[in-house]
Amino acid sequence: MSSSGFEFEVRIGPPRLTRFERARIIGARALQLSLGAPPLVPQSAVGAGVKETIELARIELESGALPISIRRTLPSGEYQDIPIRALLQGGVGQARGGSSRSSRSGRRWA
């Protein structure tokens, strides 16, 4: 078991949250917040300066407060439902700054 007491084997896809999954989660949660859903983190954890729903959704995601799962599907139809907590332990912070491949290498696309 890990130090947080939560163990889950990710069999499909990378063991962390992808940038596409991250964007989808933050966007969907920001929409919910803008439509009046209550925040899932205490105001003391957020800070007084946070007023934008996207920023609040990002804080909720990084704190692990969102009770959701990601469904990853293979072309064969096989799928796995992965709790968000398992993907956050895989390193959501690593995806924030970009991937190991640099798409901004100074090339200009025609």
Neighbours of 91 (CB within 10 A): 13
Is-above-0.95 flag for pTM? no
Burial label for 29, CB within 10 Å (0-12, 13-18, 19+), is: buried
- Specify the higher pLDDT residue, 8 or 30: 30
User: What digits encode the pLDDT tens for the residues 21-71?
Assistant: 999 999 999 999 999 999 999 887 777 777 899 999 999 999 999 999 999
Does pLDDT of 105 surpass 80?
no
Domains observed in the chain = 19-96 (3.90.940.10)
- How far is 109 from 4, CA to CA, in rounded Å? 45
Average pLDDT, the chain: 80
